[in-house]
């Protein structure tokens, strides 16, 4: 497969592009992460979400520690060529490192962020600490 499709993407000055992971059945936004060219190419090649960890400065295969893999169903590029949308099946039903279904579990109530989604699994039991 030609790598020309990677060149169409408008990577930021750090060589990254934001990637939104969305549940392929419900459309619920699960999380947002970053990808570099290698992460995106591997995501397509391996048919699973692979991101670039800015904090660890390395590739991060979603679920490599937790087992909560994101199986790729579809991939799209927005109209400005600068955001990736991944349609995924979230294996294990947990996308967030806090043990929740998705990362958008806080809502603004009376000037404060309040957690409104339940923890499905204690993160201390998910990750080796």
Q: Is 14 annotated as a binding residue?
A: no
Q: Is 79 annotated as a binding residue?
A: yes
| Alpha helices (runs of H) in the chain, residue ranges in sequence order | 4-7, 37-46, 123-126
Structure tokens at 111: 């000037």
**Who's near 52: CB < 8 A, 6+ residues apart?**
16, 33, 34, 35, 36, 38, 39, 58, 59, 60
Q: Is 82 annotated as a binding residue?
A: yes
CA distances from 38 to 17, 35, 43, 54, 127 (A): 12, 8, 8, 14, 25
Q: Is 103 annotated as a binding residue?
A: yes
Cα-flanking dihedrals φ and ψ of residue 54, to 5°? -70, -35
Q: Is 78 annotated as a binding residue?
A: yes
Nearest to 46 by CA among 34, 38, 56: 38
Q: Is 96 annotated as a binding residue?
A: yes
Q: Which residues carry a binding-site annotation for Mg(2+)?
A: 78, 80, 82
Q: Which residues carry a binding-site annotation for Zn(2+)?
A: 79, 96, 103
Q: Which residues carry a binding-site annotation?
A: 78-80, 82, 96, 103
């Amino acid at each position: 497969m030609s790598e020309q499709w990677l060149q169409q993407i408008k990577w930021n000055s750090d060589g990254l592009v934001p990637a939104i992971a969305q549940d392929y059945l419900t459309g619920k936004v699960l999380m947002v992460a970053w990808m570099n060219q290698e992460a995106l190419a591997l995501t397509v090649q391996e048919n699973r979400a692979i991101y670039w960890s800015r904090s660890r400065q390395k590739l991060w295969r979603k679920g490599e520690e937790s087992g909560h893999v994101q199986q790729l169903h579809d991939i799209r590029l927005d109209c400005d060529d600068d955001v990736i949308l991944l349609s995924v099946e979230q294996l294990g039903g947990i996308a967030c490192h806090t043990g929740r279904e998705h990362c958008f579990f806080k809502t603004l109530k009376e000037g404060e962020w309040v957690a409104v989604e339940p923890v499905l699994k204690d993160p201390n039991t998910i990750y080796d600490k």
